[in-house]
Amino acid sequence: MTRTNALILIVLITAAGCSEQKPAVSTATGVPLTPTAAQTESSAVAVRMSGLPDFSVLVQKQGPAVVNVVTTRAASVSAGPTSGDSNDPFYEFFRRFMPDAPQGGGPEPRGQGLGSGFVISQDGYILTNAHVVADSDEVTVRLANDKREFKAKVVGADRRTDVALLKVDATGLPTVTLGTSADLKVGEWVAAIGSPFGFDSTITAGIVSAKGRTLPDESFVPFIQTDVAVNPGNSGGPLLNLKGEVVGINSQIYSRTGGYMGLSFAIPIEVALDVSKQLQATGKVTRGRLGVHIQEVTKELAPSFNLDKPTGALIAGVEPGSAAEKAGVRRGDVILKYDGKLVESAIELPRLVAASKPGTAATLEVWRQGASRTLNVTLGEFPAEAVSVSTSATPQLRNRLGLALSELSPAQRKAIGVKFGVVVEAVQGPAEKAQIRRGDVITAVNNTELTSIQQLNDIVAQHKVGSSIALLVRRGDASVYIPVEVSAG
């Protein structure tokens, strides 16, 4: 796979660029305001209905608390990506963007990375991105106003939220004003300050494009999407609202080229502060864990589970010995509420559970066989291990789903930890259209665990042509329900 044919990159950088400023205009008189008058009308940004917002006061008040974060790492020998990595599309898809990343084999010189951060306490605590300080041997923080430099200690870093907490030996530092992302509205103006390519104190502006975004491999952060320009060197910088309050940490962009393309993502400040408090207290982050594999309830899957609409988190698998198994959670359950909080989509469940401490007692409202019930659970601790899958042989004739199947042997069932399963040996028709693959293992239909191939075919035979049934498919180390339309055969 060549770089020109690589999948869309998710690159972790923050906001940068420049924006045209227009004079503030009084909402009462329509007369342009002097800087003094503008500052009087608004403590942060003068926003006027007849023109664009003026971010000059915001820069003056919050700019001094935004810092450059420079990292260095010792020389090493890098063989470049392994053959497995270079052939894996996810290697490129999730590759962290660093300006000095080695591009091939041979000795790697002493590397230097560049990012941004912001001071949250006068005694020297600083927030930035975890990927900014990852694998670094030395971290230096440079202040924007007087250019003083400090050696920083990495108090802790949490890769799953991309948040890191630094500490410098200083007092009386300028600090940002912290706000809340919960009050942000889509379409609202926001600004970012950072150090693109080392150009410190650079500000860009844009609007909130969306809230609660989910990105690949990022299940614990409901990202704020903006169209604020970002470039390498701005990772870890603050996202600010028009009041001059920090509402997020700029973290990622969506790009085909590695550069800004109008889609940037910030970590909500509430998430970052919760992580930073744990890092300051213990140097690490602990999260609650249920021990389930979940997926979205689509409109195609909802009827198979007697749901009027697609909602909740569908349980595709329950790990043996997990908190969920002990609480009585079953595969095929749909979790509608976690501890009284509504779970409208699957991605909301891991965020809610992860926000709870291990050992926390919580309630689950689950939908099972057309009825709601409440289960009590005591959370375990994240993370979990995965299992692998193998296949069998001797296929049967294709059924009304277009599947040729064979049964797993007892040894194979034991190896992947299932009571029974049938292997897809060939696929066509509706199943192929639904993206069932050769080698998939089917362990259940709707809420019914399989015990034979004939049982599967009998269940299919009970459904009308054109109706949909949900197959629980084991693929790799994951289980997922896939809706398949029943054909005439």
Instruction: Give the DSSP per-residue string, 118-170.
Output: EE-STTSEEEE-HHHHTT-SEEEEEETTT--EEEEEEEEEETTTTEEEEEES-
- 277 and 293, same domain (yes or no): no
What local confidence, expressed as pLDDT, does residue 329 receive? Answer: 95
Q: Please state the separation of Cα 25 from the chain's center in Å.
A: 40
Quick one: tokens of 441? 């293992």
Strands (E), 183-273: 189-194, 202-215, 218-226, 230-231, 238-240, 245-255, 264-268
The pLDDT of residue 407 is 84
283, 315, 336: which is the final residue of a domain? 283
Contact (Cβ atoms closer than 8 angstroms) between residue 486 and residue 400: yes
pLDDT value of position 410:
77
Whether 228 is in a domain gets the answer yes
Shared-domain flag, residues 191 and 339: no
The residues with which 174 forms a beta bridge, in sequence order, are none
At residue 379's C-alpha, the angle toward residues 378 and 381, to 5°, is: 145
- Where in the sequence is the domain holding 413, given as residue range(s)? 403-485
Identify whether 383 is preceded by a cis peptide bond (ω within 30 of 0): yes
Do 377 and 290 meet the contact criterion of CB atoms below 8 Å apart? yes
User: Does 408 lie in the same domain as 374?
Assistant: no
Query: 69: closest CA among 175, 1, 215, 167?
Result: 167
Asked if residue 199 and residue 121 are part of one domain, the reply reads yes
Q: Of 283, 298, 330, which one is at a domain's C-terminal end?
A: 283
Do 464 and 412 have their domain in common?
yes
Q: Is residue 29 part of a domain?
A: no
Distances (CA, A) of 54 to 38, 43, 77, 185: 9, 12, 49, 19
pLDDT at 480: 87
Identify whether residues 193 and 148 lie together within a single domain.
Answer: yes
Query: Of 254, 283, 312, which residue is a domain's last?
Result: 283
Both 278 and 426 in one domain: the answer is no
pTM of this structure? 0.62
- Tell me what pLDDT residue 209 has: 95
What CATH code is carried by the domain that includes residue 371?
2.30.42.10
- Please provide the DSSP assignment of 416-465 as one string: HT-S--EEEEEE-HHHHHTT--TT-EEEEETTEEPS-HHHHHHHHHTSPT
Q: Which among 178, 175, 124, 127 is positioned nearest to 149, based on CA atoms?
A: 124
Nearest to 265 by CA among 308, 322, 321, 209: 209
Q: Is residue 428 part of a domain?
A: yes
Which whole-number Å values give the CA distances from 222 to 244, 382, 477, in the listed order? 22, 18, 25
Per-residue CA distances from 35 to 193, 379, 464 (Å): 21, 55, 72
β-pair type (177-178, 245-255)? parallel
Q: What is the spatial distance between Cα 291 and Cα 298, in angstroms, rounded to a whole number?
A: 22
Say if residue 321 is in the same domain as residue 408.
no
- Contact between 176 and 123 under an 8 Å Cβ cutoff? The reply is no
- 463 among known catalytic residues: no
Question: Is residue 44 included in any domain, yes or no?
Answer: no
The reply to whether 106 and 230 lie within a common domain is yes
Give domain status of residue 464, yes or no: yes
Alpha-carbon torsion, ordered 237, 241, 245, 251, to 10 deg: -20
* Backbone φ and ψ of 14, nearest 5°: -125, -175
pLDDT digits 0-9 by tens, 60-94: 999 999 999 999 876 544 333 333 333 333 333 33
Question: What does the pLDDT read at residue 485?
Answer: 87
Residues 275 and 293 in one domain: no
Catalytic: which of 54, 158, 162, 333? 162
CATH code at 125? 2.40.10.120
Judgement on whether residues 232 and 298 belong to the same structural domain of the protein: no
* Ranges of the chain with pLDDT below 70: 1-50, 74-111, 217-219, 257-259, 383-398, 411, 477, 488-489
What tokens does 28 get? Answer: 């009462």
Q: How far apart are CA 64 and CA 386, in angstroms?
A: 46
pLDDT confidence of residue 433: 87
Contact 414, 389 (CB under 8 A): no
- Taking CA 424 as the corner, what is the angle to CA 418 and CA 427, rounded to the nearest 5 degrees? 155
Q: Which of 42, 54, 131, 264 is catalytic?
A: 131
Residue 143 placed within a domain: yes
227: left (phi over 0), alpha (psi -120 to 50) or beta: alpha
Catalytic annotation, pick one of 235, 276, 356, 392 = 235
Main-chain dihedrals φ then ψ at residue 278, nearest 5 degrees = -70, -40
Residue 414 parent element (H or E): helix 410-416
Q: Please tell me the distance from the alpha carbon of residue 441 to that of residue 420, in angstroms, as a whole number.
A: 10
Tell me, what's the pLDDT at 259?
66
In a domain, 230, yes or no: yes
Classified as helix, coil or strand, 273 is: helix
* 85 located within any domain: yes
310 and 363 belong to one structural domain: yes
Known catalytic membership, residue 235: yes
**Domains in the chain: how many in total?**
3
pLDDT of residue 178: 96
Instruction: Classify residue 418 as left (phi > 0), alpha (psi -120 to 50) or beta.
Output: beta
